A and B are shown apart, each in its own frame.
Chain A
């Protein structure tokens, strides 16, 4: 029991090798072992969406994944989605529309919307609402978040012309 396991994966574009207990969640590995505290933990049982990260291009809840399950994958956290000098279009849209107040849910909103808009850059307001049903925000009332997502779409549309889904 309490096996310590070696884990190799890619975090925000850089290869990482860490030692973790088998029971460690991906969220705790990112936050505690790697110091990437942008990933927030609200509920630790899959309800709130604050811990969302992107694993192999798919948004997942990092509290519902063991770190060892990420072996060999590419993980992107909210830290990997910010430009160094200026705000990304998604961040700028969040700021413009006041899509955050306390900011606790924001990392999960940004990662989720980045995965969604990369895959479905033409997602309409209904689809965005449907997807964000898995992310709880106790401050904003959601409308500004949806407005920000709708505005940010344009920045993703060049990358995908087919408008999948």
Chain B
């Protein structure tokens, strides 16, 4: 349970960090909060020869709230999101989702960029990013680029990032006034990874019908997914018990979870239905 020998650098600029990562061609890994990477190294599940600590890189922190939405720097910690009280009005789903992540001590160190790059199938932030059309800002050897969150996650603990790519931030699109939203998660203890979680939001048109429903789930496949069938069941309908029940049934029917040591596939499927129903009931209340 001790880490294998390795080197460590703390670059003072983004250029320097990218250069070190490029020079090691995949054998160097970025180190953010270390709350996922250090356990991986302790279990010797990865064998980098160099860690590049992002702590000294300027410009990776900061939460920006504006008419264009919310931008989170890669080194923003769960604690920083919790402490940014303006988010409760500006993007209420974000702090609600973040409040389910990990334990007190881990929340003081775990970061946005680390969570996105780690890509745990049950992690909350990747789920929020996919559900809510987030944009991921990346800087690599060939300069900066942006991708939709849905193009970041390709498998359990794996992303489309190339060796040496750094996530520098994540943007959430503008939040509409009057939007209805909720997040529901089932975990064995507070702070544990979710067995299943469902995030949902929708807007209402002048006639009280649902438009632009966004519903997504974590813990039901190798990476977070949109529950498109549930979204279709909502869009264009007034929100009532029957619509909610139809959306929950559609959500259950479209997921294909696997058995694992935490829960059977059937249990996870049932949870998707229950949590979708609860989320929509809470959103519409």
Contacts and interface: CB of A to CB of B under 8 A. Distances in A.
Interface of A: prevailing SS = mixed
Interface in B37-94: 38-39, 41-43, 49, 51, 53, 55, 79
Given A44-B42, A66-B38, A69-B55, A134 B105 contact: yes
Contacts of A52: 105
Interface of B: prevailing SS = loop
Given A46-B106, A133-B103, A65 B34 contact: yes
Interface centre among B4, B38, B104 (most CB of A within 10 A): B104
Contacts, number: 99
Contacts of B38: 25, 45-46, 63-66
B6 A1 contact: yes
B104 A131 contact: yes
Contacts of A44: 1-2, 42
Interface centre among B4, B79, B102, B103 (most CB of A within 10 A): B103
B282 interface: no
Q: How large is the interface on A (under 10, 10 to 19, 20 to 34, 35 or more residues)?
A: 20 to 34
B52 to A, nearest CB: 12
A45 B53 CA distance: 19
Interface string B229-269: 00000000000000000000000000000000000000000
Interface in A116-149: 116, 129-131, 133-135
Interface string B1-31: 1111111101000000000000000000001
A40 to B, nearest CB: 14
Given A45-B42, A46-B38, A22 B191 contact: no
A1 B79 CA distance: 33
Nearest to A65: B34
Interface of A: 1-3, 5, 21-23, 25, 28, 44-46, 49, 52, 58-61, 63-66, 68-69, 71, 112, 116, 129-131, 133-135
Given A1-B5, A25-B3, A59-B105, 14 more contacts: A1-B6, A23-B5, A28-B2, A45-B38, A46-B39, A59-B104, A60-B109, A64-B34, A64-B35, A64-B38, A64-B106, A66-B34, A130-B190, A134-B103
